[in-house]
Amino acid sequence: MSSTERNLVAVTACVSGVAHTYMAAERLEKICQQENWSIQIETQGALGIDNPLTDQRIRHAEVVLLITDIELNGAERFGQSRCVTSRTTLFLSDPTKVVNAVRKLLYAPEKTRVIVS
């Protein structure tokens, strides 16, 4: 990670655990490359949890993105984190809203949670 990169983590999950889970992860990776944000994405899909986030990685993240349509396995891990929450369908149809919410948390330290709706 370069000194200018911002450090993020994310979880994506949809109801069926197939298409939207992985589409959201792929879109998020592309956006983060464009924004020069480092990201690790945990997917909670039909086949289980892939690329699980460690507690250390979560603690060191500047922002956690929860792009989900379901209750997450292990959601309590993010209790002390600065979070952006969005539904997968909203994120896929209008990712700009989520990007703007991430920017709010990165550059406005008084904020701790942003729900994109």
Please list the active-site residues. 14
Which positions ≥6 away from 11 have C-beta within 8 Å? 41, 42, 43, 44, 53, 64, 65, 66, 67, 68, 72
- Euclidean distance between CA atoms 64 and 67, whole angstroms: 10
Specify the residue for token string 């994310």: 10
Query: By C-alpha distance, which of 1, 20, 11 is closest to 65?
Result: 11
Bridge partners of 39? 8
